Amino acid sequence: MNYTAETLDRATGELKEVSLGNWITVTELVDLYGVGPKQVRTILHHMGLLQSEGRHGRHRLTSHTVAQGLGKRVDKPRSGFPFDVISPLGQKLVAEVWDETVADLEQERRGNPQVEEARAVLTAFKAQRLRPLTTQEEVCWMKDHYPNMRHDQIASVLEVTPGLVTRYADQRREQRDFIARQKVKALPDGALSSRAFDEEP
């Protein structure tokens, strides 16, 4: 996407359009670097260009990134959802530190064998499925199979923010509590007391 800016030509007093170069969306970096949407955002977050915000934990450009001219937030597009674009200067910076950032992330992951194991097991599970899992389903799967894993570790496995993991984990717990209450209500009168009596040694 080619952005332009109007500048005043002091010699003629006329406004002129000046090209600001080709700006690309964060999503376009997926094709440029051959990584998935989650991974590219995790890498940019690790660089410090993106931050997690909102109840959905969406990754958006930080105000500092915008102030440095590395990108632009499009918060009110004519159609669709808000998105971000990376300036030519931002693209240059990303290219310069991409390999170093990826290596740093990999080093962090290798430091925790459980995270590596969980990622491999989840990847194998998803390969057997006919349709992809949503992030919420991935969180539920992780909580079922690795109930003692911390939320920041689950976030590392799934390449999302810890806050998003916590939100989906809370929803899972609330749904399970609700189902448990409904099952208790469905029991006939006296079933709980007789069951408790039967289970006593």
What are the residue ranges spanned by the domains of the chain?
A: 1-111, 113-201
The DSSP symbol for 190 reads T
Tokens of 30: 């997926």
CA atoms of 53 and 60, how far apart (whole Å): 7
CA atoms of 35 and 55, how far apart (whole Å): 25
pLDDT tens digits along 71-129: 999 888 887 788 899 999 999 999 999 999 999 888 887 778 888 899 899 999 999 99
Q: Is the pTM of this model over 0.75?
A: no
Amino acid 129 reads: R
Mutual angle of helices 151-158 and 162-186, in 10-degree steps: 110
